[in-house]
Every structure is written in C-alpha cells, then in structure tokens.
Structure 1
Amino acid sequence: MKRPLLDASTADLSAWMTDRGHPTYRARQVVRWVFDRRAESFETMSDLPKGLRSELDAEWTVFGTEIAHQHVSPDGTDKLLLRCQDGRTIECVLMAESDRRTVCISSQVGCGMGCVFCASGLKGVERNLTTAEILEQVLRLRNLLPPNDRLTNLVVMGMGESLANLDHLIPALDRLCSPEGLNFGQRRVTISTVGLPEKMRKLAELDRQYHLAVSLHAPTPELRDLLVPINARVGLDAVMDAADAYFHRSGRQVTFEYVLLADLNDRPEHAEALGKLLSGRKAHVNLIPYNPVAGLPYQRPSGEAVRRFERIVRDRGVSVSVRKTKGREIDAACGQLRRRLQPESPRPSLVTLSPS
C-alpha cells in the first residue's frame, strides 16, 4: 500500500529525496504543488523530472483517501464521503455563503461521546483519523472551489470528538496554518468539543489561537447527563472551569453550542438557567435548532420557541446568535453526518426524555 504524501513532513520528504540522489528543493516543490497548485497526482507536477515523478508514484500517493460520493445541496453546500485506505468512511462539508468559504471536517471515524440526538455517534467510534486524513479533507474540499477562490474558515465540527484526537489534529491544523501549508490564520479555525476538561486544559497550554466551541446543550447537570452522557463522568462544573481556563490562557472568547430540542431543552426555564450559567463570562452562545436525523425521536422547535429562547438569554446579558442551517437536504447540517453511502433503515426510538 502506498504511503499518503501528507503523512510525511517536508523534512521527511527531503530526506527521501536525498536518499535517492535528488536535490532537497524537490521536496518543497512537491509540497507546493499539493497545497498551492491543487495537484492530486504526481503526473501533473510538470516541473519535476519524469523519472522523479515515476519514483514518487511508485511509493507515495498524493491522497490516501478517495471520494466515494459527493452530494450537493440546493443551497450550494457540498458534502464528501471519503473512503480511507482501510475501507472506513468519513464525511466532510464545504459551505459557501457571501464571501465566506467554510469547511467542516471530521476528526474520528464515528464518535464515542453518545450525544443522544446526533447521527455521528450512532455506531460508536472506530478509530482516530491520521494527520494526513485530516489534512486531506481540507484540501479535497478546497479543490472543489474555483481556481481563484480560497477558504476563509475551518471548523472541526464533523464526526468525532476533536479533543480525543489532539495528537493528530494539532499537527494537521498547525501545518494548514503554516506558510508551507495554506497559511491559514489560527483565529479562523474553530475546534469543537463535547467538553473534556483535561483535554481542554491541554489545548490551552499549547498556546495556539484556535477558537474553542463547547457543545453544551443543557444548562443544568441533570439535563446534560441525559442529553450528553459523558457529562455524568466529567461534570458540568469541570467543563465550565476548563472553558474559563482556556479563555484566561488564550484570551479568546469561548463559544457554547446549544442544540435546541423541542420540549426538552428549549423552554423558558432552560433559557433562564443558561443565561444565569453564562452571565458574567466572556462567552457567546450559538443556538442550533435541531436538524432531524432518521430513526431518532427528537423534533426541531418552532421558530417562535427559538426566538423566545434567544431573547431570554440575551436579556441576561449574554451574547447569543442562531446558527443558519445549511445542507440539511443532504444530511450535511450540524449533527447529521453519519458516513453512509445508502440510507439506513430507521432506528427505533432510543430514549424518551422527561423535560427538566
């Protein structure tokens, strides 16, 4: 099996060139072809000698993933199903709006956090993605854009718990943000987590400027234990303390994502509790009206319920916005990614939650 090119650093590739009698600058040429000139094969790298291109092709592959399926939503959202070298599949999304070009990428095959309303974790987690597999999602989506168009934002909000794969995620993001990568601004990158306190503190200690988004979904420990099962082990207080630590270390406002589920966590008392929890903190709430998932019993709240919730939180002095839904028709919206080629049979109702 050929080695994915993005598994190697430029230094690794330079050493490979030296071992075969090629000048080290050829490594930088190859890297520029992939990041700057959107090459997806060695054959297109026209300023490399043909012999070198043949040698590279014999041992390496530009991308280790392949596009198994591409879906395009009526609103222009692109979703790719990528097949990895071991046959496992992942999904990633490109969203275009006005002058923004945002990619949403996955960090794991599946997810082990068990949030009851999310499609990505229906089959659990199988493994972490490699650094190359993370990079390839961004480049494959970027390559869908017109030649003079470029990405503006990157969110790690696809399949998987981002902070459970820090060892591969951070090298991938650092390379994307480096001059030899896409020279992407760290402040344009958002890392989402369900709330793993130790990992959040570790991320803070890395002294990056990546934006942190915490998937909160409930304002009280009791309700969060039901919606986000990992909370029963880590505790809401510990998550909030770690978020505060991230803000104090990085200086970057933390976003709290809150999926609104009709009659479960969208009531006025929940909004009051959320406002109380975040009042006085340098924080922003991103409200996400639930995107339906086949086989799950939860419902999207009415527009009136969403506006009421937003108003109550704002009246508590907390910054709040409602996320615009994109890609829902192709199961590309928040919470809908599930690595499938064909529709699955509906899953029976998982749980009936009693409102808090």
Structure 2
Amino acid sequence: MRIRVKRTMEGKPLLLDYSLAEMREFVTASGHPAYRADQILEWLYRKQVASWDELTNLPKAWRETLRESHALTPFRSYSVRISTDQTRKYLFELHDGTRIESVAIPMKQHYTLCLSTQVGCALRCGFCLTGKQGFRRNLSSGEILGQILTVQRDLRSEARISNLVLMGMGEPLLNYDHTVKAIRMMLAEHGCNFSNRKLTLSTAGILPGITALGQEDFTINLAVSLNAPTDELRTRLMPVNTLYPLAQLLEACRAYPLPERRRITFEYVLLDGFNDTPGHARTIASLLRGIRCKINLIPLNAPSQLPFRPSSEAAMLRFQEILAKQG
C-alpha cells in the first residue's frame, strides 16, 4: 500500500460552484466578455488545471485578481492510499477542516469513482461507519465536482474515469439541490461530459428525492440500498425505513422512468444470520417481481465497531442461486 499526500489551495469562493450561466454572469459583471466564461470552464473541466498560471489565454492582471478572490480547488490537501489491487482511497480535507472520502475502483483499463455528497451522514445505517460520525454539512456542487477533477488529475498518466457513482459519504438525495447541480455539470458538454449511462446515484430510499429525480430533464441510473426483505428487519438496519417503508419505496422504484434496457440496481449487504437465509432470498425475489432490476449482493466489510458479521461464502452462494432461480 502506498500513500501520497498533496497540499492544495486554502478555502475561498470556488469557481467550480458556478454553472455556465452563473459563470457568464460573474465574468460579465467583472467587466469581461462572456466568452471568457467558456474559456474558464474549458480550463477547469477539459484541461483540469491545478494552477492559475496555466490559464494562459486570460489576461494576466485578471488572473491575479481571480487568484486572490477565488479557489480552483475546494481542498486544502488530500492523501491517497493505493492498495495491491490498485483501488485508490482518497481522503480530502476541505477548506473548513472537515474531511470526505472518494474511492477509485479499477475496472480493466479505466476506473469507477465513488463520490461523497455530504460530510458525514444522518441516516445511521447499522452496517456503515459513516453514520456513526453523524452529519456535519452538505457539500456544494463544486466540492462534489472537485473530487472528480482531482482524482482524474492524479490518474492522468495511468487511466481515465469512465463511471461515476454518487455513493461515498452521505445521502445524495438529502443534498438534492447541490447534487443535481453537480450532476448537470457532470453531464454537460462544457463540464465533465459524461454519458448519463455512466452515472449512477445510490440512495438509502429517500422517496421525495427519488420522485423529484425522476422528473428532472435528465435520466441517470438509480441504485437503492435495500438490505432486508421485511420492514421489521430493514428498520432495525436502516432507521430511514420508518419514514419510507418498503411498500412505498418499491412503488417509487416502479414509477422511476428508465430508458429501455436499463434497470434499477438494488444493493443488498449480506449479514450473517440477519438477512442471508434462503427464506430471505425468496422474499426478496417476490418483492422485486415486476420491477426491471438487478441485485448487487455485497459482502460486509466488517470492522470491529460494527455489530454484524459478514455472511459465509456458502450462504452468499446459496442466496445468489435462489435469486437466480426465482428470476
């Protein structure tokens, strides 16, 4: 395992927080022609600059003014741990001293990047350490986007990011406005320019957010953290289930607009003796019948602070076989 640490800029108003319209408004209000906004966005998202000196087609005097008034990055510093399988775990320190994580997972010639949307989390899911930290604050859209650009700069000579998953620290649908603003820039040609097929939002099941997301003028992939076949078990594991129980959650999933040949992903963390029996598998298959979906069975990464143990390999295989037979 290798660890690298890099220092970056102090906290200032963040250029990455601006949409195209907001950037044009800022630029013209500063006395410059609107096309300068497009130039700045090209430097930020296409060329992924890390220094004001690299913005060479902007007037030097204005570059110096921008250097004093704005930040190119939301991070004071970051470190990266690289495991033997080349998974990269990034720890970012934000301008206010809080910290978030991103994980870049190797996939042959590219990486899938898991992004944080909040500092901490309020949902207190029983299988997740982030919930034990409590909720600190929402990330801005630029703080979400900054994770992508910083990781891509770090990977530049090795591989590219081809898939984005909003599944790091926090619940993205409880930071709806900033998350959606970031998604728009992820998809925009003048932004990160990702295909909507390559972008997934993972939620613990925030029904108003799922409904609102389905009404946006873009469609991205949806993943739902399911983890239990009954309300009784799910509430013990995920207290949010008291607000949005299974029947309502699954109805919202049925109503979520998906293009042809796309499916909702249901994530299911297997916990020894809690949710991994053959009966649980059959109930899950029955619950999801009629929903165009796939199920992602996840082995628990069980630190000592959690009250659960991972399912055995035999239990996982049995669970998978039952789901496959049930269709």
Identify which range, 240-249 or 67-76, moves more after superposition: 240-249
Report whether the alignment pairs 1:298 with 2:314: no
Give the whole-Å Cα distance in 2 for the aligned partners of 1:279 and 1:11. Answer: 44
Letter of the 1:221 partner, please give it.
Answer: D
Normalised to the residue count of structure 2, the TM-score between the two structures is 0.92
Secondary structure of 1:140 counterpart: helix
Secondary structure of 1:92 counterpart: strand
Instruction: Return closer, same or farther for 1:209/1:12 CA change in 2, 3 Å cut-off.
Output: closer
Q: Which runs of 5+ in 2 are unaligned?
A: 1-10
Report whether the alignment pairs 1:77 with 2:87: yes
- Name the counterpart of 1:140: 150
Query: How does 1:11-26 map onto structure 2 within 5 Å?
Result: 11-26=21-36
1:160-211 Cα shifts (integer Å, max 9, x gaps) = 1111111100110111111101210011111011111122111111142211
- Name the counterpart of 1:229: 239
Instruction: Return closer, same or farther for 1:184/1:64 CA change in 2, 3 Å cut-off.
Output: same
The count of aligned residue pairs is 317
- The answer (yes or no) to whether the contact 1:95–1:103 under 8 Å persists in 2 is yes
- The answer (yes or no) to whether the contact 1:100–1:151 under 8 Å persists in 2 is yes
- Name the counterpart of 2:53: 43
Give the whole-Å Cα distance in 1 for the aligned partners of 2:181 and 2:319. Answer: 38
Secondary structure of 1:214 counterpart: strand
- The answer (yes or no) to whether the contact 2:77–2:94 under 8 Å persists in 1 is no
- In the TM superposition, residue 5 of structure 1 has moved relative to its aligned partner by 0.8
Identify which range, 13-22 or 72-81, moves more after superposition: 13-22
Identify which range, 3-12 or 98-107, moves more after superposition: 3-12
- The answer (yes or no) to whether the contact 2:110–2:161 under 8 Å persists in 1 is yes
Letter of the 1:74 partner, please give it.
Answer: T
Secondary structure of 1:152 counterpart: strand
- The answer (yes or no) to whether the contact 2:90–2:102 under 8 Å persists in 1 is yes
- In the TM superposition, residue 149 of structure 1 has moved relative to its aligned partner by 4.0
1:90-132 Cα shifts (integer Å, max 9, x gaps) = 1111112213321100111111111111011112111111111
Letter of the 1:55 partner, please give it.
Answer: T
1:274 aligned residue (284, 291, 296)? 284
1:240-292 Cα shifts (integer Å, max 9, x gaps) = 11111114689842111000011111111111111111123211100001111
- Please report the RMSD computed on the Cα atoms of aligned residues, expressed in angstroms: 1.8
2:66 aligned residue (56, 63, 79)? 56
1:98 aligned residue (100, 104, 108)? 108
- The answer (yes or no) to whether the contact 1:104–1:156 under 8 Å persists in 2 is yes
Report whether the alignment pairs 1:65 with 2:75: yes
Query: How does 1:97-246 map onto structure 2 within 5 Å?
Result: 97-147=107-157, 149-246=159-256
Letter of the 2:191 partner, please give it.
Answer: G
Report whether the alignment pairs 1:87 with 2:97: yes
Give the whole-Å Cα distance in 1 for the aligned partners of 2:39 and 2:253. Answer: 41
Identify which range, 26-35 or 105-114, moves more after superposition: 26-35
- In the TM superposition, residue 304 of structure 1 has moved relative to its aligned partner by 1.4
Give the whole-Å Cα distance in 2 for the aligned partners of 1:32 and 1:248. Answer: 31
Query: Which of structures 1 and 2 has the larger relative contact order (alpha carbons within 8 angstroms, sep 6+)?
Result: 1
Give the whole-Å Cα distance in 1 for the aligned partners of 2:93 and 2:177. Answer: 22
- Name the counterpart of 1:2: 12
Give the whole-Å Cα distance in 1 for the aligned partners of 2:260 and 2:225. Answer: 19
Normalised to the residue count of structure 1, the TM-score between the two structures is 0.84
Q: Which runs of 5+ in 1 are unaligned?
A: 318-356
Secondary structure of 1:299 counterpart: coil
- In the TM superposition, residue 50 of structure 1 has moved relative to its aligned partner by 2.0
- The answer (yes or no) to whether the contact 1:108–1:159 under 8 Å persists in 2 is yes
Letter of the 1:143 partner, please give it.
Answer: R
Query: How does 1:247-326 map onto structure 2 within 5 Å?
Result: 247=257, 252-317=262-327
Identify which range, 178-187 or 77-86, moves more after superposition: 77-86
Identify which range, 26-35 or 259-268, moves more after superposition: 26-35
Give the whole-Å Cα distance in 2 for the aligned partners of 1:271 and 1:58. Answer: 58
Instruction: Return closer, same or farther for 1:126/1:43 CA change in 2, 3 Å cut-off.
Output: same
